[in-house]
Structure 1
Amino acid sequence: MTTTFETVSFTYESLLEAIQPASGGRPINDPATGQQIGLVAEPGVAELDDAIHAAHAAQRGWAARGHEERSELLTLAADAIEANAEALAQLLSREQGKPLNGPNARFEVGACSAWLRATASFTLDVETIVEENGTLAELFYRPLGVVGAIGPWNWPMMISVWQLAPALRMGNTVVIKPSSMTPLSVLALVEVINSILPADVLAVIPGGRDVGERLAAHEDIAKVMFTGSTAAGKAIIRSSADTVKRLTLELGGNDAGIVLPDADPDAIAEDLFWGAFINTGQTCAALKRLYVHEDIYEEVCEALTAVAKNMPMGIGLDENNVLGPLQNKAQFDVVARLVEAAKESGARVLLGGEPEVDQPGFFYPTTLIADIDNQNPLVIEEQFGPALPIIKYSSIDEAIKMANSLDVGLGASVWSSNKDSAREVAARIEAGTVWINKHGAVDPRVPFGGAKQSGYGLEFGVEGLKQLGAPQIING
């Protein structure tokens, strides 16, 4: 198949207009300024049911196109995203709050096209399991049907693509429910992608909790992909039980980083910073607890503080900023509460910790807290914002015990000048991914998933693609 499309080109204004409701709607405000961006329709379960019905009807035709044609269409969708990247990034910055520059809005939009291209490129061959004595057993992966995707507000576009790209590539159709905090970003992304895809293959229904609950329970949804809190993930498990749905759940994390005594504080300081403060700390697999050996503890604190204090925070559309506001007031309150608990305990504030009360927007200053107990709320609860506790340790066994002490295990990292030593420590950490001398770096080719109560199922790569198919053995 060779298909050509005339790429739809949007400005920010025309893209926003394209996703506005014909009448009514709920206001969506910029978390940096409080100003209204636009309106979002609030469909209910009836509209969701209609979208699922249409997706169910379209699925067989979509599957019949085959891997090659679906991959070509996904690649063309990546082209369409790139052609509209600036309009998408501006809307994302206004709605989510993240700056245009740094590893933020433009970065996220670029990741959307990169993930589509990578997913389209994967080869999914038939696997021969046994071939001997006249027996041939082969493993195939068939489409599941309609996949329900429920996304978060921190990386709304990118994580939506993480969900929809492998689902569509495998031959499923997809219905997305975006976060009620960031629906416009996902509506806009789907508007661009659907300029390429056939009708009803991909739909987005922005709604409230009732829509999410119905999606998780609906008898015509074969699988749910969810990224969000552990509590919400448990609710989805319960809602999906009666229909025995397949699930991929990427849930809460409180990632630990361990700095070994042979690490170079100045060499790792900037990577430590971005591991913790990417997207202003609003990332599931961000570094949220930093354990530093006593021999270099003060040096790491000083080097990290020197980097952090020079990272500008402000309105995302200002090209100079690399940190933005928290996306919503509820998350601002969580960060403020946890930092206050640390301060009241006597922990040492290296930077930040005092938000300006009279400024517009949900800005919380970049905050580093040292000399803090491992049982402090700022350590044991996921802060999901720009505040990092730094805990001193004396022995590697002590650091590993503290790192493994929580019931979550999405990611972790080890920092050392000796990669062999770092790998030995990494093997003892209970987490789905352990990075060495970096934190949170994801790759569309490398499987990603959590341990313990950080969820189950894999995303990315061929292994992630397989999770969107039903395995079938043909034995004869």
Structure 2
Amino acid sequence: MFFNIINSGLRIGASTATITDPRTRKPLYEVPVASTQDLDDAVKSARLAFSSWKHVPIDQRQKVLLELADKLDEHRCKIHQVLAKETGKSDLLANIEIDHTLKFLRFNASQELPDEIQHEDAMLKIVSTYRPIGVVGAICPWNFPLVLAAAKIAAALVTGNCIIVKPSPFTPCATLKFAELAISVLPPGVLQALNGDNDLGRLITIHPGIDKVTFTGSTATGRLVAANAAKTLKRVTLELGGNDASIVCPDVDVKIVAQKIAAGVFFHSGQMCVATKRVYVHRDIFTEFRDAFVEAVRNIEIDVSGKLPTTFSPMQNELQYNIVKSLIDDSRKNGYTLLRGDPSDEERLGFFIHPVVVDQPPEDSKVIQVEQFGPIIPLSTWSSEVDVIDRVNRVDTGLGSCVWAKDIGIAQRVARQLEVGTVWINSAEIPDPRGYFSGWKQSGIGGEWGKEGLRSYCHIQTIQLYK
């Protein structure tokens, strides 16, 4: 059974929602839906808890995070089963997500924000101090539900905040179970979790008892979150969509790089905010790269059971499945060359879509201009460094990008001209808890992770001491 977690209590709802198995499209779990009263009760509990939690010494808060990590590790099998089922991930992918969740918890358990002396002379000392904001509302996505929730939880708790987590209604189960595990570790009200639909998210963004909202999701929803939060001047962190590019320079080892990019593109079937969604390959190596890339994609196997060690998945939900199918249909309708693609997808069990590679569609095509968030990828050529940088930057989002080159000087020169929050050089996108993660343009406001990310959960208070 699944419960909303309020004030260290297990609470069922007056109504329930049915979670669908992405591998079979059949009903999977029944999960309680939180009411407005549940949210009010959670906020009241969090505000009471905050009055004491903010005074708990940092070393004790760090210790709690380590205990949370140990508790998750201890109950790994239980969480793994739920996580794999609701997301459609293979056993391998679910284990990877749990491993990363543990890394985020343990990294934040090693962090603190001590006072910083900004200036000192014979007359004056100026000190920056970092104070917790209060009650945080965390609205989380469906693609990596456990690790992205835990990253917010860990940062909020170690900086002295209390947090109410709302997982995606598509994938609430592992997060609710994790919050249930935390009952034995945390004081009541410090960490709570509520399942609900978009309206519950709206209520979180306007609730006067919530001091900050951290949201990971689509740009369209992010705009609504920002507008609602402005009504009470809440602090806001938004990590939104991206249309990330990989730029492949002519000096690379083509076969190795093609395989690495294919693995990154189709990791969890492209359902990753920073996954490469456009590949730009230098024209001198394009044909060789395209052949190697398609060969790598050809080796991707659809496994309905989830037991094979694959990083390929079904679409997590029907909405996203239909979005990707519409992009494939648009590419066919416009006569683009599809190097891979399985017309029998509609007959498959579950929300599986075989990987599709689109060969050199025009720059204004939907498959290039729209964030696919699924297993369809366009390959394009470039010859001028200035031109490819302009094409990569021409979209209205800027979350991440990759640059592939043996010449590290060239790679860094290109990377520093890209209008994105993170650039990976000679690697597919691998988010790391030690690195600040932020979006430029319409990919977000503010950022999280790393020591810099902790500051987004704090008021910075300046103390000016005249001697």
Provide the TM-score with structure 1 as the length reference: 0.93
Residue 3 of structure 2 contacts residue 176 of structure 2 at CA under 8 Å; is this kept in 1?
A: no
Aligned to 1:390: 379
Corresponding residue SS for 2:437: coil
Aligned to 1:77: 68
Paired residue type of 1:205? L
Q: 1:290-312 CA deviation, whole Å, 9 max, x = no partner?
A: 01111111111111111122122
* Corresponding position: 1:472 with 2:454: no
Corresponding residue SS for 2:289: helix
Residues 22 and 380 of structure 1: CA distance in aligned 2, closer, same or farther (over 3 Å): closer
Q: 1:365-410 CA deviation, whole Å, 9 max, x = no partner?
A: 0111112111110110011001111111221122111101100000
* Corresponding position: 1:305 with 2:294: yes
Q: 1:399-441 CA deviation, whole Å, 9 max, x = no partner?
A: 1111011000000111111111111111111100111111211
User: What is the CA distance between 1:19 and its match in structure 2?
Assistant: 7.7
Paired residue type of 2:80? A
- Distance across 1 between alignment mates of 2:231 and 2:413: 43
Out of 22, 26, 34, the residue aligned to residue 35 of structure 1 is 26
Q: 1:183-215 CA deviation, whole Å, 9 max, x = no partner?
A: 112111211233311111111111112211110
Corresponding residue SS for 1:290: strand
Aligned to 2:170: 181
- Distance across 2 between alignment mates of 1:471 and 1:316: 50
Residue 164 of structure 2 contacts residue 192 of structure 2 at CA under 8 Å; is this kept in 1?
A: yes
Aligned to 1:4: none
User: What is the CA distance between 1:15 and its match in structure 2?
Assistant: 10
- Distance across 2 between alignment mates of 1:409 and 1:19: 40
Out of 7, 17, 26, the residue aligned to residue 26 of structure 1 is 17
- Distance across 1 between alignment mates of 2:274 and 2:79: 24
Aligned to 1:271: 260
Aligned to 2:99: 110
- Distance across 2 between alignment mates of 1:349 and 1:195: 53
Paired residue type of 1:428? Q
- Distance across 2 between alignment mates of 1:356 and 1:338: 14
Paired residue type of 1:36? P
Paired residue type of 1:178? P
Out of 304, 309, 323, the residue aligned to residue 315 of structure 1 is 304
Residue 22 of structure 2 contacts residue 86 of structure 2 at CA under 8 Å; is this kept in 1?
A: yes
Aligned to 1:47: 38
Out of 78, 82, 86, the residue aligned to residue 91 of structure 1 is 82
Q: 1:226-275 CA deviation, whole Å, 9 max, x = no partner?
A: 00001101001110112111111000101011111112211212220122
- Distance across 2 between alignment mates of 1:22 and 1:471: 39
Corresponding residue SS for 1:138: strand
Out of 193, 204, 208, the residue aligned to residue 219 of structure 1 is 208
Corresponding residue SS for 1:174: strand
Q: What pairs with 1:116-135 in structure 2 (closer than 5 Å)?
A: 116-135=105-124
Out of 131, 138, 146, the residue aligned to residue 127 of structure 2 is 138
Residue 3 of structure 2 contacts residue 32 of structure 2 at CA under 8 Å; is this kept in 1?
A: no
Provide the TM-score with structure 2 as the length reference: 0.95
- Distance across 1 between alignment mates of 2:153 and 2:140: 11
Aligned to 1:9: none
- Distance across 2 between alignment mates of 1:450 and 1:23: 38
Paired residue type of 2:359? A
Corresponding residue SS for 1:64: coil
User: What is the CA distance between 1:313 and its match in structure 2?
Assistant: 2.1
Aligned to 1:410: 399
Corresponding residue SS for 1:471: strand
Corresponding residue SS for 2:438: coil
Out of 388, 397, 410, the residue aligned to residue 421 of structure 1 is 410
Corresponding residue SS for 2:266: helix
Residue 304 of structure 2 contacts residue 349 of structure 2 at CA under 8 Å; is this kept in 1?
A: no
- Distance across 2 between alignment mates of 1:333 and 1:475: 57
- Distance across 1 between alignment mates of 2:349 and 2:27: 13
- Distance across 2 between alignment mates of 1:158 and 1:21: 24
- Distance across 2 between alignment mates of 1:201 and 1:35: 35
- Distance across 1 between alignment mates of 2:400 and 2:243: 8
Paired residue type of 1:420? G
* Corresponding position: 1:329 with 2:318: yes
Residue 312 of structure 1 contacts residue 322 of structure 1 at CA under 8 Å; is this kept in 2?
A: no
Residue 19 of structure 1 contacts residue 184 of structure 1 at CA under 8 Å; is this kept in 2?
A: no
Provide structure 1 residue ranges, at least 5 long, that are not aligned to the other structure. 1-12
Paired residue type of 2:82? L
Paired residue type of 1:222? D
- Distance across 2 between alignment mates of 1:424 and 1:270: 24
Corresponding residue SS for 1:233: helix
- Distance across 2 between alignment mates of 1:427 and 1:401: 13
- Distance across 1 between alignment mates of 2:44 and 2:64: 23
User: What is the CA distance between 1:342 and its match in structure 2?
Assistant: 1.6
Residue 262 of structure 2 contacts residue 297 of structure 2 at CA under 8 Å; is this kept in 1?
A: yes
Residue 19 of structure 1 contacts residue 188 of structure 1 at CA under 8 Å; is this kept in 2?
A: no
* Corresponding position: 1:151 with 2:108: no
Provide structure 2 residue ranges, at least 5 long, that are not aligned to the other structure. none
User: What is the CA distance between 1:359 and its match in structure 2?
Assistant: 2.2
Identity %: 36
- Distance across 2 between alignment mates of 1:355 and 1:141: 56
- Distance across 2 between alignment mates of 1:173 and 1:468: 10
Corresponding residue SS for 1:287: coil
CA RMSD, 1 decimal: 1.8
Aligned to 2:357: 368
- Distance across 2 between alignment mates of 1:174 and 1:428: 37
Aligned to 1:56: 47
User: What is the CA distance between 1:93 and its match in structure 2?
Assistant: 1.0
Query: Mean Cα displacement is larger for which, 403-412 or 267-276?
Result: 267-276
- Distance across 1 between alignment mates of 2:185 and 2:259: 40
Aligned to 2:340: 351
Residue 2 of structure 2 contacts residue 173 of structure 2 at CA under 8 Å; is this kept in 1?
A: no
- Distance across 2 between alignment mates of 1:210 and 1:22: 15
- Distance across 1 between alignment mates of 2:342 and 2:282: 24
Paired residue type of 1:244? L
